[in-house]
Amino acid sequence: MTHNTPTAQPAVLDTIAATRRYVREARAASRRVALVPTMGALHEGHLSLVTRGRELADVVIVSIFVNPLQFGPNEDFDRYPRTFDADLAALGGRADAVFAPSVAEMYPSGASQTTVHAGAVAGLFEGTSRPGHFDGMLTVVSKLFNVVQPDIALFGQKDAQQVFLVKQMVADLDLPLAIEAVPIVRESDGLALSSRNRYLSTTERELALGLSSALRVAGEASASGIAAARRAALAAFDQRPDVRLDYLDIVDPATFLPLGDDATGDALMLVAARVGATRLIDNAPLHF
């Protein structure tokens, strides 16, 4: 594979037509295309996806689109950080192009009349707190796949349920691309990088370490089984009453369904909690 060198400033594509022309030109040059779907407010976690995309493909396209379909009526769509100029600067020398459509470009009739239903797993965990979120997410991801038609798309493992559902959609609908999950990027103290971390005050950021701390002690207790790992994680939250636990569970990575206490093999611990007004999620692999 011959990798091209990205320019200091990625090409900015704000229409579907322009993006399709760009991809056609890449295909004409026999270049492999990677897509990194984002909602902007980029941090090092996003940039790790771009870096991995550069390793796997010749052309890396980053989409920046805050998708209204995946926000509920009481969620932070209007508040969600939009930092396009900073995002573009961060992608300089890393990505080849940025697909940054308007809402009207993606949903010209105001909303998609045809949507993707994410299935039963979408009603669990994040889906319980955010009904309809994953239908909206898969709908826009399927649209992005149709616009860009990448060889590979990269997602962050921090959004583990999203990764599972995207992989399921690709398999169920026979979409001709590969999905790669890139490991979580953390601060030196263990906090998982998130665009929502910028909402945290200094005190709240310290409290937010409760999520990664709970995952860590669960890993330390995992040799004693699933029940012990769960007890250890819950005890860690008990020590931080200002961190309001939404859910904590252990699932089978192959099905994303909760595991019983007698299960063995690979597993994934999921956690979501509120720190102040900010809702954070995290996860970690375990083995029993």
Binding residues for ATP, as ranges, are: 39-46, 156-159, 185, 193-196
Q: Is 269 helix (H, G, I), strand (E, B) or coil?
A: strand
Among residues 134, 178, 182, 180, the alpha carbon closest in space to that of 157 is found at 182
Q: Do the Cβ atoms of 265 and 282 come closer than 8 Å?
A: no
Binding residues for beta-alanine, as ranges, are: 70
Active site residues: 46
pLDDT-derived band of residue 3, with 50, 70 and 90 as boundaries? low
Binding residues for (R)-pantoate, as ranges, are: 70, 162
pLDDT in tens, 213-229: 999 999 999 999 999 99
Is residue 1's pLDDT more than 70? Answer: no
Is residue 84's pLDDT more than 70? Answer: yes
Cα–Cα distance, 99 to 84 (Å, whole number): 11
pLDDT in tens, 208-264: 999 999 999 999 999 999 999 999 999 999 999 999 999 999 999 999 999 999 999
Q: Do the Cβ atoms of 48 and 35 come closer than 8 Å?
A: no
What mean pLDDT is reported for the chain?
95
pLDDT given at position 75: 79
pTM equals 0.94
Binding residues, as ranges, are: 39-46, 70, 156-159, 162, 185, 193-196
Residue 177 DSSP code: -
pLDDT in tens, 132-175: 999 999 999 999 999 999 999 999 999 999 999 999 999 999 99
pLDDT-derived band of residue 266, with 50, 70 and 90 as boundaries? very high
Cα–Cα distance, 126 to 1 (Å, whole number): 38
What is the full DSSP assignment across 203-243?
A: HHHHHHHHHHHHHHHHHHHGGG-HHHHHHHHHHHHHT-TTE
